């Protein structure tokens, strides 16, 4: 009965907000709606053919799943095991295939296969549509349920039936589950540019708890190696923790700098760099973005662009700029609810708009496939992270070369008397 009590309180809170809304045409009574819900639950428990599916817990969980999922693609109810899995994700280690999922036009779609994971090594690509999981159609499967099916015991095989829109090819991928360890900062190095400016390169794959510290360590090493400018690659970065994205910005900006603000039905909130930040990283920066740069990567790109700290090269980002607040519930489950939208420092809306680059540069399907293939184990290019034909990285390097030349020219130009 405690689940019914929780549902009663939840409906009452939702209803109370509705009653306080000005110009409401009809009064939304929690008691009338709860009576309908309770009656429906009684009928199910009394008459439904399969009695094993009619426990109060199962019916309440089902109601909560439907309630939250009807709001938008990002709100969801997480049962205890799902909530625990989400908490494990943010700590950079979990069990599964290593793919980030989204929903496009009602189709379960891969936003990004994480590097060095079974899904990535199997050849899955951003934009691949998952039609079946182990032969079961995903047509009526929500993201949360799909993730549950993709995860399981280490060493077990999972078969995904994939439609690849770019080639109209439908193919089965058999992938073995593994423990997923996700280093968020990769490929930190000085690019080989035939004696020209020493340009550093760092790639952030996602934003989790240790990301800012990993980035700081990578930058410190590159600076000791004489780095004069930096390419920060956020392509295919699906996001992660908001606090981590803000801390990454703190590596390049003054203390207490506004990074992003949120607005919703609750009072707006600002997120700023730490007041104790002592960053002295003043070299030129180019941020690489593409269509799969989402959420946290859009916050970083939007802030560095708005504040004039970096030049953006590549493509307009994904446009996932809504805030999901996760509230734990008494039985170990949680409600993930969209509560606000992100705005860049100059008050630009990220959600469904994305962050546009200063310099647009795209990859062909063949170039993108080669880029991702070069990052798979055993298939690295001879001069990583520059596989054959990466026009986006080339444009970033050209822009930094020009900036460095301009700075050096200004430094040696004689002062007029």
Catalytically active residues, by annotation: 295, 306, 320
d(CA 120, CA 388): 19
Residue 83 structure tokens: 């909530």
Per-residue exposure over 7-22, b if at least 16 CB sit within 10 Å of its own CB, e if not: beebbeeebeeeeeee
d(CA 371, CA 390): 7
DSSP 134: T
| 150 contacts 133 by C-beta, under 8 angstroms | yes
d(CA 417, CA 208): 54
Q: Is 403 helix (H, G, I), strand (E, B) or coil?
A: helix
Residues in contact with 333: Cβ distance below 8 Å, sequence separation at least 6, in sequence order: 61, 64, 77, 78, 79, 80, 82, 83
Residue 411 structure tokens: 């430094």
SS3 content of the chain, % helix, strand, coil (to 5): 35, 25, 40
DSSP 53: G
Residues in contact with 36: Cβ distance below 8 Å, sequence separation at least 6, in sequence order: none
């Amino acid at each position: 009965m405690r689940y019914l009590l929780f549902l009663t309180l939840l409906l009452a809170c939702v209803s109370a907000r509705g009653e306080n809304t000005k110009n409401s045409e009809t009064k939304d009574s929690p008691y009338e709606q709860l009576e309908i819900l309770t009656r429906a639950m009684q009928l199910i428990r009394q008459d439904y053919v399969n009695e094993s599916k009619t426990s109060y817990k199962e019916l309440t969980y089902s109601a909560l799943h439907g309630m939250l999922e009807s709001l938008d693609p990002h709100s969801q109810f997480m049962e205890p095991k799902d909530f625990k899995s989400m908490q494990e994700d943010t700590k950079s280690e979990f069990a599964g295939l290593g793919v980030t999922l989204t929903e496009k036009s009602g189709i379960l779609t891969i936003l990004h296969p994480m590097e060095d994971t079974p899904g990535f090594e199997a050849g899955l690509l951003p934009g691949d549509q998952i039609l079946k999981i182990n032969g079961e159609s995903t047509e009526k499967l929500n993201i949360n349920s799909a993730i549950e099916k993709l995860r399981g015991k280490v060493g077990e095989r999972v078969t995904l039936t994939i439609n690849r829109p770019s080639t109209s090819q439908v193919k089965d991928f058999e992938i073995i589950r593994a423990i997923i360890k996700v280093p968020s900062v990769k490929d930190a190095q000085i690019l080989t540019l035939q004696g020209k400016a020493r340009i550093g390169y760092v790639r952030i794959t996602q934003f989790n708890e240790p990301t800012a510290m990993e980035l700081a360590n990578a930058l410190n090493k590159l600076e000791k190696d004489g780095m004069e400018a930096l390419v920060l690659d956020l392509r295919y970065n699906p996001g992660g923790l908001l606090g981590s994205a803000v801390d990454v910005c703190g590596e390049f900006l003054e203390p207490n700098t506004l990074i992003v603000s949120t607005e919703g039905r609750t009072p707006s909130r600002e997120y700023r760099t730490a007041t104790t930040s002592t960053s002295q990283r003043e070299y030129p920066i180019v941020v690489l973005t593409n269509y799969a740069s989402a959420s946290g990567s859009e916050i970083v790109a939007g802030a560095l662009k708005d504040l004039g700290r970096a030049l953006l090269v590549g493509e307009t980002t994904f446009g996932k700029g809504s805030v999901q607040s996760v509230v734990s519930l008494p039985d170990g489950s949680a409600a993930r609810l969209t509560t606000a939208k992100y705005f860049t420092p100059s008050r630009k809306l990220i959600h469904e708009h994305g962050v546009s680059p200063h310099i647009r540069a795209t990859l062909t399907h063949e170039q993108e496939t080669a880029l991702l293939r070069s990052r798979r184990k055993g298939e690295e290019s001879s001069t990583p992270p520059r596989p054959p034909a990466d026009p986006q990285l080339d444009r970033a390097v050209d822009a930094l070369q020009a900036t460095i030349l301009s700075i050096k020219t200004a430094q040696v130009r004689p002062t007029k008397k």
